[in-house]
Amino acid sequence: MDIRQQVQHEALRLGFDTIRVARWDAVLDQQPRLLKWLGHGFAGDMAYLDRRPADRCNPRSLLPDCNSVICLALGYYIPDEDWPRPGRAMVSRYAWGDDYHEVLKEKLKALGDSISVLSPGHSWKPTVDTSPVLEKAFAAASGLGWQGKHSLVINPELGSYFFIGLLLTSLKLEPDTALRDGCSGCKACLDVCPTGALVAPRVLAANKCVSYLTTECKEPPPPGTDLKGWLYGCDLCQQACPYNEAPRPANEPRFAARDGIRDLGARELLEMDEEQFAQRFSGTVIKRRKLWRMQEQARRMVEAGARVDG
């Protein structure tokens, strides 16, 4: 078994669903596209995306001797109904369980340590979506999936309900081939977006996206914005995608829905204090969102008469 096969075997043993490899320079040509996207103001107030944009296309800015980018998928789809009962505010599937940053970092570190045993002296660096690397672009270049028209990466078996983790490595591994675009003439995701954030196929104006407005935006959503009952994130474009009709269920138990998250009520949230908020959402991505910001969203929902009982 060669080193490439050993790495793949170890990744699957650690629970990753799929592993592919891209060359270190696979997305250097994405810089003009990134600069154009930033120039349109689509990043909103995520100013960090505008810092050293060229580095986001070049993994050697993080690991100078990087030769390969190992791209890994970890599915998070739990085959439960989206919402347990009517009248509850909605939380995106990716936020139902434990914070994926911590789960992925743990697995990526374990994989890096394992490769160091197989190839002593190699250098490596794990990255999740908090690092300045274009994860989706590398995932598409490696054949982990293709970039769907909703801008997320689609895998034939996992749909788009999966997290992407990258392991930058000095190893020279044989790269995989990119997959063909499987979206064809479908535009279901474009049609369902309530704010017109998908301004073109594969072009997301994040500053208009309900998910951005409810998770990343530092200011309250613009007056009159209809969040469609979403309190944290938004899955509408994913729910509309044919590849998400029956994706492979997650094999990571930490992504199972926690009690009190999937069925969160807006009025319930308005009654929380800081201690209750911290206790309820400890160890989840929702904890990263400030209570006062979520309460502002919940208050708007209640005032608008949205179906957010509780």
DSSP secondary structure, 70-91, as one string: EEEEEE----S-S-SSTT--EE
* Backbone phi, psi, residue 71, to 5°: -105, 130
In the numeric block, which tokens belong to residue 178? 């990119």
Would you call 113 a catalytic residue per the annotation?
A: no
In the numeric block, which tokens belong to residue 204? 């997301």
d(C-alpha 176, C-alpha 72), whole Å: 13
Within its chain, how far is the Cα of 222 from the centroid? 24
| Cα distances (angstroms) measured from residue 268 to each of 95, 205, 281 | 18, 31, 14
Written as one letter, the residue type at 123 is S
Instruction: Report how far apart the first and last C-alpha atoms of the chain are (Å, whole number).
Output: 56
d(C-alpha 89, C-alpha 261), whole Å: 10
Annotated catalytic residue: which of 25, 129, 226, 263? 129
DSSP state of 221: P
Q: Look-up: residue for tokens 């997305």?
A: 27
Query: Which residues are the active-site residues?
Result: 129
